[in-house]
Each structure stands twice: as C-alpha cells, then as structure tokens.
Amino acid sequence: MLIAGNWKMFKTQAKTRAFCAAFEPPGGVEVVICPPFTSLGAAVESGLTVFAQNVHWADEGAYTGEISAAMLKELGVSGSLVGHSERRQLFGETDDGTARRAEHALGAGLRVIACVGETEAEREAGATESVLRRQLAPLPRHEQLVIAYEPVWAIGTGKTATPELAQDAHAYIKTLIDAPVLYGGSVKPENAAELLAQPDVDGALVGGASLDPDSFAAICRAAA
C-alpha cells in the first residue's frame, strides 16, 4: 500500500521542515511526500521518501522553468508525479507529453506516479473508459510505474467517488496496464479506510489532507 501526499503549491522550506518534524509515518505502509520544487531538499533532509510534482523529458536544454531527472536525483529525490490533472487543465500538458516525462524519468532511475482521470462532463457522457484508454495508451510499461486514478470532478471539490465507482475504475485500468493503481480525489481520514479497502485500490494520492501531519498520518494508518 502506497500513500503519496501531493502538496501542490504549498509549504516553504521552513513549513516543510516543521511538517516533517511533526509527522510520524506508521509501519506497514509506504509513504511518499511531493513538495514544491523549492522544498524538495528540506524534505529529503527528513529521511522521508520524496517525489517531485513534475519532471521534464530531457536531461538538459533550453526549457525555461523545467527540471530534469538528473537534477532531482542529485537532490536525493526518489521519483515524480507526471500528468496531474492540474498540469493538464491549467498548463496544457498532453497525454504524449506526460508519457515522454514518465519514460525519461523511469529511464533515469526515478519512480513515477502517472495521473489519469476523467472530468465530470466526460463521466456524464459515458466516456470514462475511453478517456482512461487514451491517457494510458502512450505510457511506458515499467516495473517502477504507478498509476493514480483521479476523477477530476473529485479533486479539491469535496466530492469523492464512491468506493464502488473507485473500484470499478481501478479494475478497468488494471485490464489495460499491469501497475499498482492509487486513488486520488478528496481522500480524507473520514473516507480513507473504505476507499482503501477496495480490492483494486493499491493506495492513495492525497491532496489537501496531506498538508496537515496529523490528518496525513491518520490516512496512512488507515492504509496500514
């Protein structure tokens, strides 16, 4: 069971150190935190497993604002998210770009959590499976790849997929790719145990609830 906390654009280095000092991960569950780029070093100092929130597909070059796998590895970072729905919606990330980022990071020895999921309009149109097929098709097949299913309509909205909906989506994803699948979409201490009990849910990608050490620890205990 893998629980990853995506901090998005929250926490300075000082706040990252304070979180790490207060957070006590339970045994029996793998825990990853994904701070913003400026706080990666401070998080690595804590001894926790640290992933970046994004990674570029080239080792170096004229890519203003981007960070390479080699730069992350030098910091002691273990992996990266790619293709998060906010990257897709707000910054124009594509399925192909996500796959290129994943392939390069995996080839460089980083682990990767690749995010997929449908919008509310796509779900209402009955297009969930076709969207997941499209997003998963270009991704490399690799033993260090993890998929995160994030129904876009459940991210930061307070809405959560029912355990049954999550299970159905996870089971479908596993017919398309042989990889662990995390659920991401308003995971909280109150709903974590029920979601994580589903047979094809292999962990969680936690957003807002991962910013508080006690809340995040409660979700990790539910997984353990």
* Domains parsed from the chain with CATH numbers: 2-223 (3.20.20.70)
pLDDT by 10s per residue, the chain, length 224? 999 999 999 999 999 999 999 999 999 999 999 999 999 999 999 999 999 999 999 999 999 999 999 999 999 999 999 999 999 999 999 999 999 999 999 999 999 999 999 998 999 899 999 999 999 999 999 999 999 999 988 776 777 789 999 999 999 999 999 999 999 988 999 999 999 999 999 999 999 999 999 999 999 999 99
143: exposed, middle or buried (Cβ count in 10 Å: 0-12, 13-18, 19+): exposed
What's the predicted TM-score (pTM) here?
0.96
Q: Report the alpha-carbon distance of residue 14 to residue 10 in Å, rounded.
A: 11
CA distances from 182 to 58, 101, 112, 152 (A): 27, 19, 12, 14
Q: Which residues are catalytic?
A: 84, 150
